[in-house]
Every structure is written in structure tokens, then in C-alpha cells.
Amino acid sequence: MSSFLLFSLAGAAILVVTILIELAIRKNWLPYFTGRKLLHIIAIGTTAWIIDRDQDIFILGITLVVMGLLLLVVLFKFKWWLQQESSYGIALFPIALGGLLLMGVPAFMVATAAWVLAVSDASAGWVGRRWGSPKYIFLSESKSYQGAAAFFISASICMAIRFPDLHIGWWGLLAFIPTLTELFSWRGSDNFFIPIFTVGWILLILRTTYLGSWVWMIAAACIFIFLGWWVIHKKWLNESGWWAAVWVAAVLWMSGGWIALSAPVFLLVAGSIAGRIFHKAHSSDQRTAQQVFANGWLGVILYMLYGLTDQFHWQVFAWCSFAISICDTVSSEVGTAIGGKTYNITNFRKMQSGLSGGVSIAGTLGGLVALLLLAACLYFLLPVTTIQLFLVVAVGMIGMLVDSFIGSKWQALWKKGHVLTETSSQDENLKLEKGIVWLDNHWVNFLSNALTMLLAYLLYFIFIL
């Protein structure tokens, strides 16, 4: 059967099923949630089946990306009953799968990720909806451990079917990161992120020199358990922050071993110590999943690229990304703790201490000292050049300033009476004083890191390579 005919038949089948499920929901013949999950399994499962059997992978990749973009337009323009909730997942999965195929990822790996998404995500949804209690907010949506367990078990079975030659423990390890990725998803974003991180995680696992070693797996599990007890005992992270840290640590460990882990550990320790030097109470200082991902997600992606390509510059960029988070965190903690005059970075007028956009001498010096200590550690850990060390320090400082600039110009600032705060709540007395409603401190941290790293990437390749 030709690729064109295969694509056409599969597309027509998915379209017919979508219309039938839509009609069944409108006629109250089928519950909304059940219909949505059925469409999820059929659409993504059919796509996985095609990827497994088709030979013209490049054309298939283009077709999936175009299909996803068209579906996004449809969902923006029209309101389906299948989309009663604000979610664009049905359009995101073909973009992710097609993009992976166009990047040259082996079709078998992409199909594996698609099968996991089709079966395990639906299993988690059904089990979580029926038996999931209590529910927790891990990032922005409520999830349950029962749903996560269903995802993990079904994903492990998928891995066992796809990789029958591996040991049983490695099937669970392959399912680990996809499970955590689903735990932190929101509004259908899992349809985009699960395929990408499942493929990346599988490739990292299969490249590891420890494959087949039970001793290594037991040792790694013991280390993670000890670290979990330590950070929760010290109240450095809350429950959602701990699971986010596990996700970060697992990917970093597979990407670069203990050297990769040393960067976020430096960030966690430096930020926590700096914030506790002058503080007596810390119960409100526990870092959440939002903070962990805002400060570490981009660095993890860069380290994953290093782990998959063995190109040293990705490792340098990863440290630059962590340097931005380290400098911003330490400067904020030190500046708030020591006090002194704080100035708005956009107009250099005095402003309230502790608000985004403010810079102080003490905070800036604290961030610089942290960067110099980081550079000293990096000198002993990696074969870096003087220029690369300077790049890490310079990018860290610039990123901290960019963070302050974005925070001053666009971060949401709320007012209650005469008191200004950056934290919004359901309090009706809070009024938006300035900025963009959704742009909180976590988004500012992430965007400033991303923009600074994009600039650093361009400058590095123009002037250094």
C-alpha cells in the first residue's frame, strides 16, 4: 500500500470516528470524558500504527505537523463538545510526533512514544477520574497518585512489548520519566511533552553504560530516597517541588552523571543558604514545582542535548542557564535579607525592597560572588577554557539583569489598599496595579533565562566557534 493511500485511509478513519463521537456526546449517548478518551486512544493509536508501518517517514512527518497546525486553527475558531475544557492536546500530539520524525529520530522510538501516550495517558485519566483521591496540584492541574500508578504500569507494559530484550527493571525505568511528565502536564500539554521526553529518555537510557546493572539501579534509588528525605526534612522543597526535582535529577543523571547533578545542587544549596542566613522562619520558603521548573527546565533540556549528541558546547550552555538562575536567586535572597536601598532597573528610582525589577548593591554583589564560586567549581569539574568560564559568569549576570528588567516592565503587580504584592489570590480586594495578569515571577524567571540563553547561543557561535 502506498504512503499516500495509507495516510488518506487513516485520516478518513480518524475523521469519521471524531464525527461519530462528537454526535454521540451531543445526543447524550456518550459521556463527555469517555468520548474524549476514546478519541485520544483511536487517533494517537492509529498514528502510532502508521509510524510503525510506513517507510516514507519524511512525508509522514510533514503531514503530521501540517495536520496539527490545521487542528490548532480549527480549535481556536470553533468550539467542539469534545473540547468543552480548554485543551489543545488533540492538535499538539501530531506536531510533536511529526517534528520528531523530521528531526531524524528513529521511527521505532517515535512510535513507542506514541503508544505510551495513547494507552498510558488514557489509563491515567480513567483511573484518576474514578478512583483518584486525594488529588494534588503538582503544577497547575489536580492529579492523583492512583492515576500516576496507572500510567506507570501501562507504560511499563508498553516498554516490555517494545523492548522485550531488556530486564524487567529497565522497563520500569523507561516508564519513569513519561509518568512524571504526565504528572506535571496541563491543558493537553502532555500530548506534546510526553512524546518528546519519552523519546529523549529512551535514547539516554539505551546509551548508558550501566544498562543491565541491578547494582547501579539500587544505588541510584537509594541516593534519590536519601536526597528526598534530606530536602523535605530541611524544608527546601514541598511535595510538588520534590517530584519536580526528581524529574530534573533523573534526566540530568542520565545526561551527564554526577557532574550534571552538581549544577542544580549548587543552585538549591546556594539559594537556600543565602535565604536562611538572616531568616528565622522558613516554612513559607519551601520551593515549589513551579520554581524548580522555572529555574531548571531549560538547563535540563540543554544537558539532555549534550547527553544525546556528546557536543561539549551544550554542556557549557547548560551551566550558563543554571548560572542565570543561581545569580538571580542568590541576589534576590541576599538583597532582601540585607536590605538597603533598592532601585528600579528601568529608571533607577527608589522602590520597595523585595519586588521584581529592583536591584541593590548588596544583592548584585551576592549574585556575583555566587557566580565566581560556581566558576571555581566548574574549573575543577570540566575541561573548560578561560573564555567559557567568562561566558558562564557573564551570562549569569546578564540573565539576572534581564530578569529584573522584564519584572519591572511587564510582571503583574497587585495592590491591596496601600500595599503592593506580586502574589495574586482569590482576594477580591486585590487589584492589578500594572503588568500582564498571567506574568508572575515564575514566568519571568523562565522567559529571562530563555531570552538570555538565545542571545548567548548566537554570540557564542558568531564570535567563539
CB–CB of 456/320 below 8 Å?
Answer: yes
Q: What are phi and psi of 354, to 5 degrees?
A: 95, -10
Q: How many CA atoms lie within 13 A of 10 on its CB side?
A: 23
- Rounded Cα distance between 357 and 149, Å, is 42
Written as one letter, the residue type at 426 is Q
Residue 290 has pLDDT above 70, yes or no: yes
Q: Among 149, 51, 142, which residue's Cα sits nearest to residue 102?
A: 51
Residue 282 has a pLDDT of: 41
Those residues whose C-beta lies under 8 Å from the C-beta of residue 406, and which sit 6 or more positions away, are: 444, 447, 448
pLDDT, one tens digit per residue, over 51-93 is: 988 778 888 888 889 888 887 777 766 655 444 455 567 778 8
CB–CB of 155/175 below 8 Å?
Answer: yes
Model confidence at 303, pLDDT cuts 50, 70, 90, reads very high
If one compares 128 and 31, the residue with the highest pLDDT of the two is: 128
CB–CB of 370/434 below 8 Å?
Answer: no
Residue 209 has a pLDDT of: 73
Written as one letter, the residue type at 128 is G
Those residues whose C-beta lies under 8 Å from the C-beta of residue 302, and which sit 6 or more positions away, are: 314, 315, 317, 318, 321, 453
Q: How many CA atoms lie within 13 A of 276 on its CB side?
A: 15
Helices marked H in 382-440 — which ranges? Answer: 386-410
- Rounded Cα distance between 94 and 332, Å, is 41
pLDDT, one tens digit per residue, over 103-146 is: 999 999 999 999 999 999 999 989 988 888 888 888 878 889 99
If one compares 253 and 352, the residue with the highest pLDDT of the two is: 253
Residue 277 has a pLDDT of: 61
All three cell numbers of 68: 496539527
Residue 450 has a pLDDT of: 94
Residue 82 has a pLDDT of: 47
Rg (CA), the chain: 24
- Rounded Cα distance between 311 and 29, Å, is 55
Residue 341 has a pLDDT of: 78
Mean pLDDT of the chain: 82
All three cell numbers of 91: 492538535
- Rounded Cα distance between 343 and 231, Å, is 34
Residue 100 has a pLDDT of: 95
Those residues whose C-beta lies under 8 Å from the C-beta of residue 266, and which sit 6 or more positions away, are: 322, 326, 374, 377
Q: Among 405, 402, 432, which residue's Cα sits nearest to residue 420?
A: 432
- Please tell me what DSSP assigns to residue 240: H
User: pTM for this one?
Assistant: 0.87
Burial class of 165 by CB neighbour count within 10 A (0 to 12, 13 to 18, 19+):
exposed
pLDDT, one tens digit per residue, over 350-401 is: 777 667 777 888 888 888 998 999 999 999 999 998 888 999 999 999 999 9
Cα–Cα distances in Å, from 28 out to 23, 25, 37, 157, 354? Answer: 9, 5, 16, 34, 53
All three cell numbers of 205: 537510557
Model confidence at 324, pLDDT cuts 50, 70, 90, reads very high
Residue 424 has a pLDDT of: 60
- Rounded Cα distance between 307 and 256, Å, is 6
Most confident of 227-231, 369-373, 438-442: 369-373
Q: What are phi and psi of 136, to 5 degrees?
A: -130, 150
Model confidence at 447, pLDDT cuts 50, 70, 90, reads very high
Q: Among 133, 152, 155, 158, which residue's Cα sits nearest to residue 144?
A: 133
The answer to which of 18-27, 315-324, 454-463 has the lowest mean pLDDT is: 18-27
CB–CB of 415/431 below 8 Å?
Answer: yes
CB–CB of 412/432 below 8 Å?
Answer: yes
